[in-house]
Structure 1
Protein backbone atom coordinates (compact mmCIF):
# COMPACT_ATOMS: atom_id res chain seq x y z
CA UNK A 1 0.00 0.00 0.00
CA UNK A 2 2.76 2.41 1.00
CA UNK A 3 4.74 1.59 -2.17
CA UNK A 4 1.64 2.19 -4.25
CA UNK A 5 1.09 5.59 -2.67
CA UNK A 6 4.72 6.55 -3.20
CA UNK A 7 4.48 5.47 -6.84
CA UNK A 8 1.34 7.53 -7.34
CA UNK A 9 3.02 10.54 -5.73
CA UNK A 10 6.04 10.22 -8.01
CA UNK A 11 3.79 9.91 -11.06
CA UNK A 12 1.75 12.95 -10.00
CA UNK A 13 4.95 14.95 -9.53
CA UNK A 14 6.14 13.89 -12.98
CA UNK A 15 2.85 14.93 -14.59
CA UNK A 16 2.97 18.28 -12.79
CA UNK A 17 6.52 18.92 -14.02
CA UNK A 18 5.54 18.07 -17.61
CA UNK A 19 2.49 20.36 -17.46
CA UNK A 20 4.54 23.23 -16.03
CA UNK A 21 7.20 22.73 -18.72
CA UNK A 22 4.60 22.76 -21.51
CA UNK A 23 3.00 25.93 -20.14
CA UNK A 24 6.40 27.58 -19.78
CA UNK A 25 7.38 26.70 -23.35
CA UNK A 26 4.05 27.98 -24.67
CA UNK A 27 4.44 31.21 -22.71
CA UNK A 28 7.97 31.67 -24.04
CA UNK A 29 6.68 31.14 -27.57
CA UNK A 30 4.05 33.83 -27.11
CA UNK A 31 6.53 36.26 -25.53
CA UNK A 32 9.05 35.69 -28.31
CA UNK A 33 6.43 36.16 -31.03
CA UNK A 34 6.92 39.35 -33.01
CA UNK A 35 5.67 40.84 -36.23
CA UNK A 36 7.99 40.39 -39.21
CA UNK A 37 6.34 43.36 -40.96
CA UNK A 38 9.01 46.05 -41.47
CA UNK A 39 8.56 49.16 -39.33
CA UNK A 40 7.29 52.16 -41.26
CA UNK A 41 6.02 50.21 -44.27
CA UNK A 42 3.13 52.17 -45.80
CA UNK A 43 0.29 49.92 -46.87
CA UNK A 44 -2.56 50.89 -49.19
CA UNK A 45 -6.04 49.43 -49.48
CA UNK A 46 -6.05 46.70 -52.09
CA UNK A 47 -2.45 45.66 -51.42
CA UNK A 48 -2.09 41.89 -51.49
CA UNK A 49 -0.12 40.37 -48.62
CA UNK A 50 1.58 36.97 -48.69
CA UNK A 51 3.15 34.93 -45.92
CA UNK A 52 4.78 31.54 -45.54
CA UNK A 53 3.50 29.65 -42.54
CA UNK A 54 5.11 26.84 -40.60
CA UNK A 55 2.15 24.56 -39.83
CA UNK A 56 1.18 21.22 -41.36
CA UNK A 57 -1.27 22.72 -43.86
CA UNK A 58 1.26 25.37 -44.88
CA UNK A 59 3.88 22.71 -45.54
CA UNK A 60 1.40 20.71 -47.62
CA UNK A 61 0.56 23.78 -49.71
CA UNK A 62 4.24 24.56 -50.26
CA UNK A 63 4.93 20.95 -51.23
CA UNK A 64 2.21 21.17 -53.88
CA UNK A 65 3.22 24.65 -55.07
CA UNK A 66 6.52 24.15 -56.88
CA UNK A 67 6.61 27.76 -58.09
CA UNK A 68 5.67 29.45 -54.84
CA UNK A 69 7.27 30.87 -51.73
CA UNK A 70 4.06 31.44 -49.79
CA UNK A 71 1.29 29.38 -48.26
CA UNK A 72 -1.24 32.11 -47.44
CA UNK A 73 -2.59 35.36 -48.87
CA UNK A 74 -4.82 38.22 -47.72
CA UNK A 75 -5.79 41.76 -48.67
CA UNK A 76 -5.21 45.15 -47.07
CA UNK A 77 -8.40 47.14 -46.45
CA UNK A 78 -9.23 50.55 -45.05
CA UNK A 79 -11.29 50.21 -41.88
CA UNK A 80 -12.28 53.72 -40.78
CA UNK A 81 -8.88 55.09 -41.79
CA UNK A 82 -6.88 52.21 -40.31
CA UNK A 83 -5.13 49.71 -42.57
CA UNK A 84 -6.22 46.15 -41.72
CA UNK A 85 -5.90 42.75 -43.39
CA UNK A 86 -8.87 40.62 -44.43
CA UNK A 87 -8.11 36.96 -45.03
CA UNK A 88 -9.77 33.54 -44.93
CA UNK A 89 -7.89 31.23 -42.60
CA UNK A 90 -8.39 27.91 -40.77
CA UNK A 91 -7.01 27.03 -37.37
CA UNK A 92 -6.48 30.53 -35.96
CA UNK A 93 -9.39 31.05 -33.51
CA UNK A 94 -9.64 34.32 -31.59
CA UNK A 95 -11.74 32.73 -28.83
CA UNK A 96 -12.98 29.32 -27.76
CA UNK A 97 -15.46 28.01 -30.31
CA UNK A 98 -14.41 30.54 -32.96
CA UNK A 99 -15.11 28.87 -36.34
CA UNK A 100 -12.70 28.92 -39.27
CA UNK A 101 -13.74 32.05 -41.13
CA UNK A 102 -12.85 35.25 -42.95
CA UNK A 103 -11.11 37.51 -40.43
CA UNK A 104 -10.04 41.13 -40.18
CA UNK A 105 -6.91 41.87 -38.16
CA UNK A 106 -3.97 44.22 -38.02
CA UNK A 107 -1.12 43.75 -40.51
CA UNK A 108 1.18 43.20 -37.54
CA UNK A 109 -0.92 40.27 -36.35
CA UNK A 110 -1.21 38.84 -39.87
CA UNK A 111 2.59 38.80 -40.05
CA UNK A 112 3.19 37.53 -36.51
CA UNK A 113 6.18 35.18 -36.40
CA UNK A 114 4.04 32.37 -34.96
CA UNK A 115 2.30 32.17 -38.34
CA UNK A 116 4.78 33.78 -40.74
CA UNK A 117 8.40 32.94 -41.52
CA UNK A 118 8.66 35.31 -44.49
CA UNK A 119 6.29 37.75 -46.17
CA UNK A 120 5.70 40.01 -49.14
CA UNK A 121 3.42 42.92 -50.05
CA UNK A 122 2.35 43.39 -53.67
CA UNK A 123 0.39 46.18 -55.33
CA UNK A 124 -1.50 46.51 -58.61
CA UNK A 125 0.54 48.58 -61.06
CA UNK A 126 -0.78 51.95 -62.24
CA UNK A 127 -4.25 51.72 -60.72
CA UNK A 128 -5.66 52.94 -57.42
CA UNK A 129 -9.37 52.65 -58.24
CA UNK A 130 -9.63 48.88 -58.75
CA UNK A 131 -7.68 48.05 -55.56
CA UNK A 132 -10.03 50.26 -53.54
CA UNK A 133 -13.07 48.54 -55.06
CA UNK A 134 -11.55 45.12 -54.37
CA UNK A 135 -10.79 46.10 -50.77
CA UNK A 136 -14.38 47.22 -50.18
CA UNK A 137 -15.60 43.89 -51.55
CA UNK A 138 -13.26 42.07 -49.15
CA UNK A 139 -14.69 44.04 -46.24
CA UNK A 140 -18.22 43.07 -47.28
CA UNK A 141 -17.20 39.41 -47.40
CA UNK A 142 -15.84 39.76 -43.88
CA UNK A 143 -18.96 41.56 -42.61
CA UNK A 144 -21.19 38.78 -43.95
CA UNK A 145 -19.50 36.39 -41.54
CA UNK A 146 -18.23 34.21 -44.39
CA UNK A 147 -16.85 30.88 -43.20
CA UNK A 148 -13.69 29.18 -44.45
CA UNK A 149 -14.18 26.86 -47.42
CA UNK A 150 -12.72 23.50 -46.43
CA UNK A 151 -13.79 22.08 -49.80
CA UNK A 152 -11.64 24.65 -51.64
CA UNK A 153 -14.42 25.13 -54.17
CA UNK A 154 -14.11 28.57 -55.78
CA UNK A 155 -17.24 28.02 -57.87
CA UNK A 156 -19.26 28.59 -54.68
CA UNK A 157 -18.57 31.88 -52.89
CA UNK A 158 -20.81 31.21 -49.87
CA UNK A 159 -17.60 30.00 -48.19
CA UNK A 160 -14.08 31.01 -49.19
CA UNK A 161 -10.47 29.95 -48.90
CA UNK A 162 -7.65 32.50 -48.89
CA UNK A 163 -6.88 32.70 -52.63
CA UNK A 164 -10.57 32.58 -53.49
CA UNK A 165 -11.28 35.67 -51.39
CA UNK A 166 -8.53 37.74 -53.03
CA UNK A 167 -9.22 36.68 -56.61
CA UNK A 168 -13.00 37.08 -56.15
CA UNK A 169 -12.64 40.58 -54.71
CA UNK A 170 -10.40 41.69 -57.56
CA UNK A 171 -12.64 40.04 -60.15
CA UNK A 172 -15.53 42.13 -58.81
CA UNK A 173 -13.29 45.15 -59.41
CA UNK A 174 -12.76 44.07 -63.03
CA UNK A 175 -9.25 42.69 -62.53
CA UNK A 176 -8.83 38.94 -63.12
CA UNK A 177 -5.78 37.82 -61.16
CA UNK A 178 -5.81 34.17 -62.25
CA UNK A 179 -6.91 32.09 -65.22
CA UNK A 180 -8.90 28.86 -65.31
CA UNK A 181 -6.06 26.52 -64.31
CA UNK A 182 -6.42 24.80 -60.93
CA UNK A 183 -3.85 22.72 -59.04
CA UNK A 184 -4.75 19.23 -57.84
CA UNK A 185 -3.16 17.87 -54.68
CA UNK A 186 -3.97 16.32 -51.33
CA UNK A 187 -4.20 18.05 -47.96
CA UNK A 188 -4.02 16.13 -44.67
CA UNK A 189 -7.47 14.81 -43.81
CA UNK A 190 -9.14 16.38 -46.87
CA UNK A 191 -8.22 14.08 -49.73
CA UNK A 192 -7.85 15.40 -53.27
CA UNK A 193 -8.64 19.08 -53.77
CA UNK A 194 -8.56 21.36 -56.80
CA UNK A 195 -7.80 25.02 -56.20
CA UNK A 196 -5.78 28.18 -56.83
CA UNK A 197 -2.51 28.53 -54.90
CA UNK A 198 -0.85 31.73 -53.65
CA UNK A 199 1.81 31.61 -56.38
CA UNK A 200 -0.89 31.92 -59.05
CA UNK A 201 -1.70 35.36 -57.66
CA UNK A 202 1.81 36.33 -56.60
CA UNK A 203 3.28 35.66 -60.06
CA UNK A 204 0.74 37.85 -61.86
CA UNK A 205 2.74 40.36 -63.92
CA UNK A 206 0.34 43.19 -63.10
CA UNK A 207 1.44 43.11 -59.47
CA UNK A 208 4.55 44.94 -58.29
CA UNK A 209 6.47 44.08 -55.12
CA UNK A 210 6.27 46.80 -52.47
CA UNK A 211 8.37 44.89 -49.94
CA UNK A 212 9.63 41.36 -49.36
CA UNK A 213 10.88 40.41 -45.91
Structure 2
Protein backbone atom coordinates (compact mmCIF):
# COMPACT_ATOMS: atom_id res chain seq x y z
CA UNK A 1 0.00 0.00 0.00
CA UNK A 2 2.77 2.43 0.98
CA UNK A 3 4.66 1.56 -2.20
CA UNK A 4 1.58 2.32 -4.31
CA UNK A 5 1.09 5.67 -2.57
CA UNK A 6 4.77 6.59 -3.08
CA UNK A 7 4.57 5.67 -6.77
CA UNK A 8 1.41 7.74 -7.17
CA UNK A 9 3.02 10.75 -5.50
CA UNK A 10 6.17 10.37 -7.61
CA UNK A 11 4.11 10.18 -10.81
CA UNK A 12 2.09 13.25 -9.84
CA UNK A 13 5.29 15.16 -9.06
CA UNK A 14 6.87 14.26 -12.38
CA UNK A 15 3.73 15.23 -14.28
CA UNK A 16 3.57 18.52 -12.39
CA UNK A 17 7.23 19.29 -13.18
CA UNK A 18 6.74 18.47 -16.84
CA UNK A 19 3.63 20.64 -16.99
CA UNK A 20 5.55 23.57 -15.49
CA UNK A 21 8.37 23.03 -17.93
CA UNK A 22 5.93 23.30 -20.84
CA UNK A 23 4.19 26.43 -19.54
CA UNK A 24 4.75 29.86 -21.04
CA UNK A 25 3.36 33.34 -20.57
CA UNK A 26 3.72 33.99 -24.31
CA UNK A 27 0.18 34.57 -25.62
CA UNK A 28 -1.26 31.94 -27.95
CA UNK A 29 -1.91 33.38 -31.39
CA UNK A 30 0.63 36.20 -31.08
CA UNK A 31 2.32 36.52 -34.47
CA UNK A 32 5.88 37.73 -34.32
CA UNK A 33 7.70 39.37 -37.23
CA UNK A 34 11.39 39.19 -37.99
CA UNK A 35 13.14 42.07 -36.24
CA UNK A 36 10.52 42.49 -33.51
CA UNK A 37 12.02 43.39 -30.13
CA UNK A 38 10.83 41.39 -27.14
CA UNK A 39 11.07 42.37 -23.49
CA UNK A 40 10.55 40.38 -20.31
CA UNK A 41 10.68 40.90 -16.55
CA UNK A 42 11.73 38.04 -14.32
CA UNK A 43 11.62 37.31 -10.61
CA UNK A 44 15.30 36.56 -9.99
CA UNK A 45 17.90 38.60 -8.14
CA UNK A 46 19.50 40.00 -11.31
CA UNK A 47 16.11 41.01 -12.66
CA UNK A 48 15.25 42.82 -9.44
CA UNK A 49 18.61 44.60 -9.52
CA UNK A 50 18.02 45.80 -13.08
CA UNK A 51 14.51 46.96 -12.18
CA UNK A 52 15.85 48.90 -9.20
CA UNK A 53 18.41 50.59 -11.45
CA UNK A 54 16.03 51.17 -14.35
CA UNK A 55 13.61 53.70 -12.88
CA UNK A 56 12.10 54.41 -16.31
CA UNK A 57 11.53 50.78 -17.24
CA UNK A 58 9.20 47.85 -16.83
CA UNK A 59 11.51 45.09 -18.07
CA UNK A 60 14.85 43.59 -17.14
CA UNK A 61 15.76 41.71 -20.34
CA UNK A 62 15.48 42.15 -24.10
CA UNK A 63 15.92 40.04 -27.24
CA UNK A 64 15.26 40.18 -30.97
CA UNK A 65 13.08 38.00 -33.19
CA UNK A 66 14.82 36.19 -36.05
CA UNK A 67 13.73 33.80 -38.77
CA UNK A 68 15.38 30.39 -38.48
CA UNK A 69 14.41 28.16 -41.41
CA UNK A 70 10.92 29.67 -41.47
CA UNK A 71 10.38 29.52 -37.69
CA UNK A 72 10.34 32.62 -35.51
CA UNK A 73 12.93 32.40 -32.77
CA UNK A 74 14.40 34.85 -30.26
CA UNK A 75 18.11 35.66 -30.09
CA UNK A 76 19.29 37.13 -26.80
CA UNK A 77 22.40 37.40 -24.64
CA UNK A 78 21.82 35.98 -21.18
CA UNK A 79 23.79 34.82 -18.11
CA UNK A 80 22.94 31.94 -15.77
CA UNK A 81 20.62 30.03 -18.10
CA UNK A 82 22.67 26.97 -19.19
CA UNK A 83 21.11 24.43 -21.54
CA UNK A 84 23.50 21.71 -20.36
CA UNK A 85 26.23 21.18 -17.80
CA UNK A 86 29.20 23.35 -18.66
CA UNK A 87 27.17 25.55 -21.02
CA UNK A 88 28.84 29.01 -20.94
CA UNK A 89 26.90 32.26 -20.64
CA UNK A 90 26.37 33.26 -24.25
CA UNK A 91 24.12 34.59 -27.00
CA UNK A 92 21.34 32.04 -27.37
CA UNK A 93 18.50 31.31 -29.77
CA UNK A 94 15.24 30.03 -28.26
CA UNK A 95 11.58 29.64 -29.08
CA UNK A 96 9.31 32.46 -27.89
CA UNK A 97 7.68 29.96 -25.53
CA UNK A 98 10.99 29.18 -23.83
CA UNK A 99 12.10 32.82 -23.75
CA UNK A 100 8.84 33.63 -21.95
CA UNK A 101 8.90 30.60 -19.66
CA UNK A 102 7.47 31.43 -16.22
CA UNK A 103 10.79 30.29 -14.81
CA UNK A 104 12.37 33.39 -16.36
CA UNK A 105 9.45 35.75 -17.02
CA UNK A 106 6.39 37.08 -15.22
CA UNK A 107 5.64 39.86 -17.72
CA UNK A 108 6.48 40.56 -21.34
CA UNK A 109 6.00 42.87 -24.30
CA UNK A 110 6.54 42.81 -28.07
CA UNK A 111 7.50 46.00 -29.91
CA UNK A 112 7.96 46.65 -33.62
CA UNK A 113 9.61 49.40 -35.64
CA UNK A 114 7.02 51.74 -37.11
CA UNK A 115 6.60 51.77 -40.86
CA UNK A 116 9.92 50.20 -41.88
CA UNK A 117 10.36 46.65 -43.15
CA UNK A 118 14.01 46.67 -44.26
CA UNK A 119 15.84 47.74 -41.08
CA UNK A 120 14.25 45.05 -38.85
CA UNK A 121 15.17 42.33 -41.36
CA UNK A 122 18.76 43.55 -41.52
CA UNK A 123 18.94 43.86 -37.73
CA UNK A 124 17.70 40.29 -37.33
CA UNK A 125 20.37 39.05 -39.71
CA UNK A 126 23.10 40.80 -37.72
CA UNK A 127 21.68 39.21 -34.56
CA UNK A 128 21.78 35.79 -36.22
CA UNK A 129 25.41 36.34 -37.22
CA UNK A 130 26.22 37.20 -33.61
CA UNK A 131 24.54 34.00 -32.44
CA UNK A 132 26.23 31.84 -35.07
CA UNK A 133 29.72 32.98 -34.10
CA UNK A 134 29.10 31.65 -30.56
CA UNK A 135 29.38 35.06 -28.93
CA UNK A 136 29.84 34.89 -25.17
CA UNK A 137 27.95 37.00 -22.64
CA UNK A 138 29.67 40.25 -21.71
CA UNK A 139 30.02 40.23 -17.91
CA UNK A 140 31.85 43.56 -18.09
CA UNK A 141 28.84 45.20 -19.79
CA UNK A 142 31.21 47.03 -22.11
CA UNK A 143 29.35 48.00 -25.29
CA UNK A 144 32.53 49.38 -26.85
CA UNK A 145 33.71 45.77 -27.28
CA UNK A 146 31.40 43.65 -29.43
CA UNK A 147 33.39 40.41 -29.12
CA UNK A 148 31.12 39.71 -26.12
CA UNK A 149 27.62 41.09 -25.57
CA UNK A 150 24.93 41.67 -22.98
CA UNK A 151 21.24 41.79 -23.88
CA UNK A 152 20.80 45.52 -24.60
CA UNK A 153 24.14 45.66 -26.38
CA UNK A 154 23.09 42.86 -28.74
CA UNK A 155 19.82 44.53 -29.77
CA UNK A 156 21.39 47.98 -30.05
CA UNK A 157 24.32 46.59 -32.06
CA UNK A 158 22.04 44.73 -34.49
CA UNK A 159 19.80 47.74 -35.14
CA UNK A 160 22.70 50.21 -35.32
CA UNK A 161 24.42 48.01 -37.92
CA UNK A 162 21.13 48.04 -39.85
CA UNK A 163 21.06 51.85 -39.75
CA UNK A 164 19.05 52.84 -36.65
CA UNK A 165 20.25 53.59 -33.13
CA UNK A 166 17.59 52.71 -30.57
CA UNK A 167 19.28 53.29 -27.22
CA UNK A 168 20.97 56.58 -28.00
CA UNK A 169 24.19 57.60 -26.27
CA UNK A 170 23.07 57.76 -22.62
CA UNK A 171 24.58 55.15 -20.29
CA UNK A 172 23.79 54.38 -16.65
CA UNK A 173 26.01 53.68 -13.65
CA UNK A 174 24.54 50.71 -11.81
CA UNK A 175 25.59 48.02 -9.35
CA UNK A 176 24.48 44.40 -9.80
CA UNK A 177 24.74 41.75 -7.04
CA UNK A 178 28.34 40.63 -6.54
CA UNK A 179 29.69 43.03 -9.15
CA UNK A 180 31.59 46.28 -9.23
CA UNK A 181 29.79 49.34 -10.55
CA UNK A 182 29.22 49.17 -14.30
CA UNK A 183 28.19 51.66 -16.98
CA UNK A 184 25.72 50.29 -19.49
CA UNK A 185 22.47 50.56 -21.44
CA UNK A 186 19.20 49.49 -19.81
CA UNK A 187 16.13 47.88 -21.42
CA UNK A 188 14.11 51.09 -21.07
CA UNK A 189 16.62 52.91 -23.29
CA UNK A 190 15.39 50.68 -26.12
CA UNK A 191 11.79 50.11 -25.03
CA UNK A 192 10.97 53.82 -24.71
CA UNK A 193 12.23 54.71 -28.20
CA UNK A 194 9.40 56.50 -30.01
CA UNK A 195 10.26 54.72 -33.28
CA UNK A 196 8.82 51.53 -31.78
CA UNK A 197 5.16 50.65 -31.41
CA UNK A 198 3.69 48.24 -28.89
CA UNK A 199 2.22 45.10 -30.44
CA UNK A 200 1.20 43.36 -27.23
CA UNK A 201 2.00 43.46 -23.51
CA UNK A 202 1.22 40.52 -21.25
TM over 0.5: yes
* Compared CA separation, residues 61 and 41, structure 1 to 2 (3 A): same
Deviations 1:34-76 (A, max 9, x none): 1111101110000000000111110000000011110000000
Larger Rg, first or second structure (1 or 2):
1
Distance 1:69 1:29 in 2: 29
C-alpha distance in structure 2 between counterparts of 1:122 and 1:26, whole Å? 36
User: How far apart, in 2, do the equivalents of 1:25 and 1:67 lie?
Assistant: 40
> 1:112-145 CA deviation, whole Å, 9 max, x = no partner?
1110000000000000100000000000000000
Confirm whether residue 48 of structure 1 aligns to residue 48 of structure 2.
no
Secondary structure of the 1:85 match is: strand
Q: Which residue of 2 aligns with 1:20?
A: none
Q: Which runs of 5+ in 2 are unaligned?
A: 1-11
Write the distance in 2 (CA, Å) between the matches of 1:178 and 1:93. Answer: 28
**TM (normalized to structure 1)?**
0.86
Aligned residues: 191
| Structure 2 length-normalised TM | 0.91
**CA-atom RMSD, angstroms?**
1.6
Whole-Å separation in 2 of the counterparts to 1:63 and 1:25: 35
Counterpart position of 1:125? 114
Mapping 1:66-105, distance limit 5 Å? 66-105=55-94
